[in-house]
Amino acid sequence: MSDMRTWVAEFDKQLTDAENISRNAGLKPVTEPVQNVIISGLGGSGIGGTIVSELAKLHSPVPVTVNKDYFCPAFVGPHTLFIASSYSGNTEETLQCTEEAFRKGARVVVITSGGRLQQIAAEKGFDCIVVPGGYHPRACLGYSLFQLLGIFIHYNLLPPVFEEYRSGLAAFIRENESALQAKGKELALFLKDSIPVLYAESHLEGVTIRLRQQINENAKMLCWHHVIPEMNHNELVGWRNTNNNLAVVFITDPDGYYRNRERTQYCINVVKKYTQRYTELSASGSNPLQKVFSLIHTGDWASIYLSELNGVDAMEIDVIHTLKSTLADLK
Ligand code: F6R
């Protein structure tokens, strides 16, 4: 059956399939090291880039930039690894940027299920990893993230141990499925009829944005997020008036940096003066990928339960489709 709930329930199977696709990707050998990396993609196809760039921050010898725009940064050139991620293969911003990166001599790798991007990759001889079609892009984060991890390991931007972490993830999700789903349900009940406010330590910003996007698209709700420490230097001052419509989630990592943990505790103490609705969502697992995926999967379940509580169809995103066709008609 094709529906958002089933896709979330079958996430472990997606991860197993995604790993096989990555192992058989047949990427061209790395003949000379790259000097910078761009990951270009929007929405459900862009968020994997944000998450992988955070994971790579402590490991990659070269800068990794996430690009969610029509244009490439000026530094893109022959020493750039340019990764284009578009599930449909037809997202205009990603297509335009990919053409520009090609013109500037970048090495291009594509992740897609088809569309124009796959055609361009075939015409120009790019490495092209094809993932299964028939999903909605936001339901395919396992596919896109696993391909990005494979590309990063191939280019020595992440250490080989990440391959082991990745191999164990499907089993980790399977073994923890009922606990992660239950946490998601609890979170949905907490967020119902609220404006969710998500605060996370900055190394978890990607998964926090993912939760925001899932709440937007699946549950049809507005939501905002910010990160610690940056929000300690501005947004924290905005907490001055009681507002029980705001439901605040502190997304935490038990092994996070001790100074950020202290900051989080301080923020909780400020926020609880102004709303009764605050909670903590803590990452579980023993390695960086387990932590990230425990949060992604809990958040995905939360968005499914929220859509059901709100009585809306998690699959429907008509306004995005209408916008895309309006733009397609613009010459
Ligand atoms: C739809 C979704 C959107 C798309 C975005 C880009 O499920 O999540 O955010 O991911 O509009 O489209 P693609 O992924 O086809 O490049």
Question: Tell me, what amino acid is at 56?
Answer: A
pLDDT bin (cut points 50, 70, 90) of residue 207 is very high
- The stretch 179-206 carries a mean pLDDT of 98
pLDDT in tens, 113-143: 999 999 999 999 999 999 999 999 999 999 9
- In whole numbers, what is the pLDDT of the chain averaged over residues? 97
pLDDT at residue 37 greater than cutoff 80: yes
Whether 233 is a known active-site residue: answer yes
Tell me which of 201, 203, 217, 297 is the catalytic residue.
Answer: 217
pTM (2 d.p.): 0.97
3-class secondary structure per residue, the chain: CCCHHHHHHCHHHHHHHHHHHHHCCCCCCCCCCCCEEEEECCHHHHHHHHHHHHHHCCCCCCCEEEECCCCCCCCCCCCEEEEEEECCCCCHHHHHHHHHHHHCCCEEEEEECCHHHHHHHHHHCCEEEECCCCCCHHHHHHHHHHHHHHHHHHCCCCCCHHHHHHHCHHHHHHHHHHHHHHHHHHHHHHHCCCEEEEEEEHHHHHHHHHHHHHHHHHHCCCCEEEEECHHHHCHHHHCCCCCCCEEEEEEECCCCCHHHHHHHHHHHHHHCCCCCCEEEEECCCCCHHHHHHHHHHHHHHHHHHHHHHHCCCCCCCHHHHHHHHHHHCCC
Pocket test for ligand 1, best of 45, 111, 117, 215 (most atoms within 8 A of CB): 45
Let me know if 8 is exposed, middle or buried by CB neighbors in 10 A (0-12, 13-18, 19+): buried
CA distance linking residue 198 with residue 220, whole number of Å = 16
Distance 87 CA to ligand 1 centre (A): 7
For ligand 1, residues with CB inside 6 Å are 42-45, 86-88, 91, 94, 136-138, 217, 317, 320
pLDDT of the residue at 224: 97
Name the nearest CA neighbour of 303 among 14, 1, 5: 5
Domains of the chain: 4-170 (3.40.50.10490), 176-310 (3.40.50.10490)
pLDDT bin (cut points 50, 70, 90) of residue 1 is low
pLDDT bin (cut points 50, 70, 90) of residue 154 is very high
